[in-house]
Structure 1
Amino acid sequence: MLVIREEQMSALSQAMLKQFEDQMVVHLSSNFPDETREISEGELRALIQEGIEQAEQYQITLEDDVRRYLEFMVMYGHNFDTSPDTAWAGEFLHAKELDGTAKMDLIDERELEMVRGLV
């Protein structure tokens, strides 16, 4: 029987988190070149780490949902969850009755409506 000690589990989790962070550096730089052009890799990594922590506070923990949260941070600023300019996003994020995916789906829908000029 294989037994994984807590230290091993922690090391595995850290390795997976580092891999996700590496993927997000590439993803955000590639998909948001204008928004990330002036940001060093170290600053982008710090933003990603901050975003992961923020997302977790809103019960956003699935990788795809965290990726979307990070994309909004890059598009609207690292404080898009609390900024008066994006208060609509904060309302969705604070909705206790919604899970992380539902929150990000609502934010995506609202942002799409804004792009189309429907809001």
Structure 2
Amino acid sequence: MLTIGKDQLARFREPPRRAFEIEMVAHLAAFSPPLFKTLGEAQMLVVVQQGMQAAERHGFDLRGPVRMYLELMLLFGSRFDTDPQYPWFHELLTTATDDPQMQRAGRIHDRVTEYRRQVAGPDDDFTFAALRRILQFAEQPLEYPPAQIVGELARQFAAVYPEKAAYIGEQALTSLIAEGVEAARGLKSPSARGEALMSVLMFAFGHGCADDPLYPWIANTIRDGLAPEPARWPVRLEKKAVTWLKHVLGDLPRRS
């Protein structure tokens, strides 16, 4: 459950920053046990440290808003503040910045609560179902003519996660896919399959997933697959993504 925190007036510098970091690692472990299981304590500490820095850049240094910011990273990806899927985050984080932190955090909390009601569903049922459909989608042949890939992927994503596609809208969805296609081409993807894969990962894990500390396996697999021939990274990343999804889904309660 997304929280702001009752200790809203305490700044995370008091108690010392290190103690707060350790506290947040434990909090995020309870907030998302499957993700913590895949990351481990040391990597989650990296996530916390980078997230605290990002929160500070947006003017948050109270314990409650910072904790909320860290939770948002786990829900939407570490780069949620610039993700084309969620333009309202950018708006809420960059407007009325002179308002009190708790007031700003409250507006974000309200918007996220409404988003999760419509997109995640009760007990995250929509999300769990979508993750399973994404796994099925990733195991299918994904070859599209270059001129049609954005439109075809938008159609597929709407089928995989209709609640999310309807909420974020066609423009945001196509912007995200176009970013994924461009990122894959920048990595010299040899086919549309690599472009589709990168777009799927961004849709599932956020547009910054290729260097997100929450998903180090993505960056590591791309790096290792670029040598000695760039054509290898999509194949390796696809296998790794399927394995990762199966592992995480295996730790989730089964839902219809």
TM-score in terms of structure 1 length: 0.80
Counting matched residue pairs gives: 107
**8 A contact 1:52–1:66 mirrored in 2:** yes
Aligned-residue sequence identity (percent) comes to 29
Structure 2 match to 1:69:
69
**8 A contact 1:58–1:100 mirrored in 2:** no
**Aligned ranges 1:79-94 → 2 under 5 Å:** 79-94=79-94
The secondary structure found in structure 1 opposite 2:86 is helix
Alpha-carbon distance in 2 for matches of 1:108, 1:67: 12
User: What is the CA RMSD across the aligned residues, in angstroms?
Assistant: 2.0
Q: How far 1:103 moved relative to its partner?
A: 2.1
Which range moves more in the overlay, 88-97 or 76-85?
88-97
* Deviation string, structure 1 residues 56-75 (Cα, Å, up to 9, x no partner): 11111101110001000111
Bigger relative CO (Cα 8 Å, ≥ 6 apart)? 2
TM-score in terms of structure 2 length: 0.39
Alpha-carbon distance in 2 for matches of 1:26, 1:60: 20
The residue type equivalent to 2:107 in the other structure is L
**Aligned ranges 1:1-119 → 2 under 5 Å:** 16-95=16-95, 96-117=97-118
* Deviation string, structure 1 residues 4-43 (Cα, Å, up to 9, x no partner): xxxxxxxxx5971010001001100012113333112121
Structure 2 portions without partners, runs of 5+: 1-12, 120-166, 168-256
Alpha-carbon distance in 1 for matches of 2:14, 2:69: 20
Larger Rg: 2
* Stretches (4+) displaced over 3 A: none
